[in-house]
Amino acid sequence: MFTLRKISLIVAIVGAAIALAACDQAEPTAATTTPDTTTTPPAPSASTSAATTSRPPAEPPKTTTTAAVQSCPVTERTLLDALKGTDVADRGANPTALTKIVCYKDYAFATDNTPNRNVEHSSFLFGFKRPQNRWTPLNVGTDQVCQGHVLDQEIRERLGSAAC
């Protein structure tokens, strides 16, 4: 014989099935129009969670919209790649080597270390662009390279060059 508890469970399952069927007829969702490429198991349905009381329903996966990317430290290769084909590189005689790289709070400062140069070695200022998460050259020169680009005195001091 059916007990009141079993009848209540059957009613709950049938009600959940009817509700799910009504949801399927509303609007098509992304899951019904495109294949699911994730390997995350689906969240339990209302009928499954009603039947199992020993474990809570699964939480949706936690995702971040913007990954926090650290700009510092930065390598010579990364900065040289950022310089390629830019006006700043042309004005700085297209360096092939950088030295004395200092990085602080999304700014980097480096000095041209290209061998066999008959000119004064230029200093380069770089800024880290977000949300693109890439370095971009801001300025080149031999004096006051940071002026107009780095307004924070603490950052200029941490970059530590007399040219900044």
Report the pLDDT value the prediction gives residue 10, as an integer from 0 to 100: 66
Domain boundaries, the chain: 4-51, 76-159
Q: What is the 3-state secondary structure (H, E, C) of the chain?
A: CCCHHHHHHHHHHHHHHHHHHHHHCCCCCHHHHCCCCCCCCCCCCHHHHHHCCCCCCCCCCCCCCCCCCCCCCCCHHHHHHHHCCCHHHHHCCCCCCEEEEEEECCEEEEEECCCCCCCCCCEEEEEEECCCCEEEEEEEECCCCCCCCCCCHHHHHHHCCCCC
Q: Name the residue with higher pLDDT: 1 or 70.
A: 70
15-29 pLDDT, tens digit per residue, is 655 654 555 554 444
Highest mean pLDDT among 25-34, 37-46, 65-74, 78-87: 78-87
For range 56-85, the mean pLDDT = 76
106-135 pLDDT, tens digit per residue, is 999 999 999 877 777 899 999 999 999 999
Is the pLDDT at 139 greater than 80, yes or no? yes
pTM for the full model? Answer: 0.58
